[in-house]
Amino acid sequence: MSNKPQEDRDAIVERYADMVWRIALSRTRREDAAEEVFQEVFLRLFQKERSFNEEEHRKAWLIRATLVCCRSYLTASFRNATLSLEEVGDCIALPEEKSVLFEAMLRLPAKYRIPIQLYYIEGMDSDEGAKAMGIRSGTFRVRLSRGRNMLRELLKGEGINV
């Protein structure tokens, strides 16, 4: 039996691990929840041996699956515990200048936080981000704009002018 499929799986996980982790942590706001979502996403990917014509299709599927798994995790009634922003900051190591921005992003409602993350961190355009979230492009752009404005106001409260 060849090790090729396992090597391919390892390469896929390595390529997309950071992206899935960041989305899961941003959406769930908890390290343990992000770990659970991370595992669920890759389990779903490899259980059915999905094949994709393009890497962009695989990336879009992973983003959508991560959002769906996060939603499932967050709606489960027995998982309502939350971490404070200080505890989240302790869970991940970020450069000091980025941690203020990250903490401000975590304060945004998910419907504004996720478009900012997809657009600025994952490098998706508004059409790709909208498709990943299952919303219209116009709705994505409005949420992105409102999220930027909210983030700007939060950062002004921290003494940072944007």
Domain shared by 77 and 103, yes or no = no
Provide the residue range defining the domain that includes 151.
94-162
Tell me: do 122 and 146 sit in the same domain: yes
Predicted pLDDT of residue 6: 63
Q: Render the burial of 94-114: b for 16+ CB within 10 Å, e for the rest.
A: eeeeeebbbbbbbebebebbb
Which of the two residues, 46 and 86, has the higher pLDDT score?
46
Identify whether 88 is part of a domain.
Answer: no
Binning pLDDT at 50, 70 and 90, where does residue 92 land? very low
pLDDT digits (tens, 9 = 90+) for 16-57: 999 999 999 988 888 888 999 999 999 999 887 777 888 889
Report the pLDDT value the prediction gives residue 40, as an integer from 0 to 100.
92
Closest by CA position to 8, among listed 38, 31, 42: 42
Task: Return the pLDDT at 9.
Answer: 86
pLDDT tens-digit series, residues 94-133: 444 457 777 888 889 989 988 988 888 888 888 988 988 8
Give 84's pLDDT tier (boundaries 50, 70, 90): very low
Largest CA distance in the chain: 60
Domain of 108, CATH number, reads: 1.10.10.10
